Structure 1
């Protein structure tokens, strides 16, 4: 077989959730490096994205959730230096879900110093990372059709595409 220089693409898949409690407040976590965000993380090998969202939110906050519909799909297509022997971090695909809290009390974890519920309208007073702001706005604007976004976060945030799908 001829080597054409083509390389099998590698992507990181992540899932996150806007977790809503009975008071219609949303769950935020204060991370050590990105400030306040809504919880989520990478899908592990052999794991599906819904199970990953449930696991990540439980690990980060102690909240048990029910995962609902996707409101945002986004791609961070920037090229970033790798670590642990990886030369370059691949494109990251994020799926953001609307979730309902089933039980638990917000608590900190190894990944964050605090987790708490805040009023939906006040969440943007806490969130500072531009990509998280755009993804939270997609939640606030959600009317039944998910949005797709492409952006880069380094050296600075640039929203390259935003459209309903």
Structure 2
């Protein structure tokens, strides 16, 4: 029996201490908090630090985990043949410690600091909006959200994991 395949990702809500969050605009046109896939042999913390640097130019320290998400939808990749595996996403709050904001990178077309209460004005994808809202509602308990994105966005489970 083959091992199950999952895409493991790590993302960061980078808070600048002045009420702003770092957003990056992906090449496909959507605004997101920076993050991406964990590479083979890489841990979650190193992955989120690397992804934020690659996508924005900002160096960060990772503070704490705020959410874990699973996209359990089963659908085909753009080629119509390849199955897209379940994606598991770990989301952290991060603090900037250096670097310089770069607007355009190999992965992004724009980067900017956005007032925390205006971020939802930028994010249009329903799954990303739900995950950002869970971050805004963070009460000290890590949030776990399971959803599917195809054929439509549906939240299947949304719970706070507390002691």
Q: CA deviation at 1:83?
A: 6.7
The structure 1 segments of at least 4 consecutive aligned residues displaced by more than 6 Å after TM superposition are: none
Give TM-score scaled by structure 2 length. Answer: 0.92
Note the 1:139-158 alignment, pairs <5 A.
139-158=135-154
Q: Deviations over 1:59-86 (max 9, x none)?
A: 00000001111111000001122478x8
Over aligned residues, Cα RMSD in angstroms? 1.5
Note the 1:13-28 alignment, pairs <5 A.
13-28=8-23
Q: Distance in 1 between matches of 2:17 and 2:11?
A: 19
Note the 1:30-69 alignment, pairs <5 A.
30-69=25-64
Note the 1:1-165 alignment, pairs <5 A.
6-82=1-77, 87-107=82-102, 108-165=104-161
Which structure has the larger Rg? 1
Q: Tell which deviates more after alignment, 68-77 or 16-25.
A: 16-25
Gaps of 5+ in 1: 1-5
> Between Structure 1 and Structure 2, how many residues are aligned?
159
Change (3 A) 1:103 1:24: farther
* SS of equivalent to 1:110: coil
* SS of equivalent to 2:130: helix
Q: 8 Å contact 1:65–1:100 — kept in the other structure? A: yes
Q: CA deviation at 1:156?
A: 1.6
* SS of equivalent to 2:132: helix
Q: Distance in 1 between matches of 2:75 and 2:59?
A: 33
Q: CA deviation at 1:92?
A: 0.3
